[in-house]
Amino acid sequence: MTTIADRARELTVSREPFVHATVVRAQEPTSAQPGDAAVILSDGSIEGFVGGVCAESSVRTAALDTLRDGATLLLRVLPDGTGTFPETPGARVVVNPCHSGGAIEIFLRPVLPAPVLGLAGSTPISAAVATLAAFLDFEVSVSGDYAGATAVVVAGLGKGEQDAIRAALDAGVGFIALVASRKRGAVLLDELELTDAERARIHSPAGVDIGACSPQEIALSIMGEVVRAIRVDGLAPSSGAPVARPQQAVDPVCGMTVLVGPETPHARVDEQDSWFCCAGCLASFTAA
Q: Are 4 and 48 in contact (CB under 8 A)?
A: yes
Apex 282 CA angle, 279 and 288, nearest 5: 145
Q: Is the pLDDT of residue 199 over 70?
A: yes
Output the pLDDT for position 139: 94
* Residues 27-84: tens digit of each pLDDT: 877 788 999 999 999 888 999 999 887 788 889 989 998 988 889 999 998 887 665 5
* Residues 91-122: tens digit of each pLDDT: 888 877 665 667 899 999 999 999 999 999 99
Instruction: Give me the phi and psi of 90, to 5 degrees please.
Output: 85, 5
Q: Residue 154: which region, alpha, beta or left (left: phi > 0; alpha: psi -120 to 50)? A: beta
* Residues 143-172: tens digit of each pLDDT: 999 998 999 999 998 899 999 999 999 999
- The CA distances from residue 84 to 80, 93, 189, 254, in Å, are 11, 10, 61, 19
* Residues 256-274: tens digit of each pLDDT: 777 777 778 888 877 788 8
Q: Are 265 and 252 in contact (CB under 8 A)?
A: no
Residues 37, 24: Cα–Cα separation, whole Å: 9
Residues 161, 204: Cα–Cα separation, whole Å: 12
Residues 24, 152: Cα–Cα separation, whole Å: 41
| Angle at which helices 124-135 and 215-231 cross, to 10° | 50
Please give the share of the chain, as a percent, with pLDDT higher than 70.
93
- The CA distances from residue 261 to 10, 45, 104, 223, in Å, are 24, 9, 25, 41
Q: Is the pLDDT of residue 19 over 70?
A: yes
User: Average model confidence (pLDDT) for the chain?
Assistant: 87
The helix/strand/coil state of 198 is helix
Output the pLDDT for position 161: 94
Residues 171, 190: Cα–Cα separation, whole Å: 20
Output the pLDDT for position 86: 62
CB atoms closer than 10 angstroms to residue 110: 21
Average pLDDT over residues 126-141: 96
Output the pLDDT for position 204: 94
Q: Binning pLDDT at 50, 70 and 90, where does residue 241 land?
A: very low
Output the pLDDT for position 54: 77
Output the pLDDT for position 182: 93
The helix/strand/coil state of 36 is coil
